[in-house]
Amino acid sequence: MHPEISSVNASTLSKEEKIRYSRQIMIFGEEGQKKLKSARVVVVGVGGLGSASSTYLTAAGVGRLILVDKDVVELDNLNRQVLHWTRDIGKLKVRSAAEKLRELNPEVDVEGLAVEVNEESVYDIIKEADVVVDGLDNWGTRMIINKACVELGKPFVHAGVHGMYGQLTVIIPHESPCLQCIVPSAGTKPKSGTFPVLGTTPAILATLQAQEVIKLITGHGRPLIGKLLIFDGTTTTFTTIEVSRRKNCPACGNPAMQQ
């Protein structure tokens, strides 16, 4: 388990769980699976990204999954937000998602919070999280989460998408650059607009997010810390670049820091 994550590991696996997760236990062992079972993950936003990340986190058997989204399902969500089906139009996204995720894996404690993320509510939303997962659709709300994650020392797995483009990074507060270090010119006002997107784009980025979360929790592999992955679906290209902290970053900066 990544040293930043400090959940207790007191659980045991039932016979059914050992069978359900047998193929991934071959990768990181029962110890890794128990770490997943002890973990609490918060997915903020249950749209295109959140649908895919929460599905794979549920299938992988995280102990507790908290979904956060204040919106209801609309017809034009359905090309990408695959946890929401035609019959769910008008239903709260967290309810629609939680219903299916509980059926997918009853071992996971799925909770839905239909609340708005703002400077006040954010601390309560993420306080119990071992890892926070980005499923948001605008820079403003992302920066609110980013700042709170830095303050509370929570790992934050970021992704964003547009059309057939996307990016991904793993933020470990005070160790890696935060989102504000990487995108200092992004607006900080919460504003969500209508953006073009093909359903496969968030699916690609969000399954990578789920994989990074699982790596952070189990300690298996090397998470994408201090690096930004850029995805170009039009040419099927993945590019990884190094990103660095800014000592004058308004969110995580420390003037005494060496740069």
Q: Is 180 in the site for Zn ion (CB under 5 A)?
A: yes
Q: Looking at beta carbons only, is 42 or 249 nearer to Zn ion?
A: 249
Do residues 236 and 250 touch, judged by C-beta distance below 8 A? Answer: no
Radius of gyration for the alpha carbons in the chain, expressed in angstroms and rounded: 17
Q: Is 251 in the site for Zn ion (CB under 5 A)?
A: yes
Q: Among 25, 178, 203, 213, which residue sits at the site for Zn ion (rule: CB under 5 A)?
A: 178
CA distance 93 to 115: 11
User: In which residue are the tokens 């995720």 written?
Assistant: 101
Q: Is 144 in the site for Zn ion (CB under 5 A)?
A: no
Q: Is 252 in the site for Zn ion (CB under 5 A)?
A: yes
Q: Is 181 in the site for Zn ion (CB under 5 A)?
A: yes
Q: Looking at beta carbons only, is 62 or 252 nearer to Zn ion?
A: 252
Q: Looking at beta carbons only, is 153 or 187 nearer to another protein?
A: 187
CA distance 221 to 212: 9
For 151-182, b/e burial (b = at least 16 CB within 10 A) is eeebbbbbbbbeebbbbbbbbbbebbbbbbbb
Residue 202 contact, options Zn ion, another protein, none, Cβ 5-8 Å cut-off depending on partner type: another protein
Q: Looking at beta carbons only, is 58 or 167 nearer to another protein?
A: 167
Closest contact distance (angstroms) between CB of 253 and Zn ion is 6
Residue 138 contact, options Zn ion, another protein, none, Cβ 5-8 Å cut-off depending on partner type: another protein
CA distance 173 to 188: 19
CA distance 173 to 3: 12
Closest contact distance (angstroms) between CB of 26 and another protein is 32
Do residues 117 and 42 touch, judged by C-beta distance below 8 A? Answer: no
User: What DSSP string runs through 206-247?
Assistant: HHHHHHHHHHHHH--S---BTEEEEEETTTTEEEEEE----T
Q: Looking at beta carbons only, is 13 or 186 nearer to another protein?
A: 186
Q: Looking at beta carbons only, is 29 or 184 nearer to another protein?
A: 184
List residues bridging with 230 in a β-sheet.
167, 239
**Footprint on this chain of another protein (rule: CB under 8 A):** 45, 47-50, 134-139, 142, 159-163, 165-167, 177, 181-187, 195, 197, 202, 228, 230, 232, 239, 241-244
Q: Is 205 in the site for Zn ion (CB under 5 A)?
A: no
Binding site for Zn ion (CB under 5 A): 178, 180-181, 249, 251-252
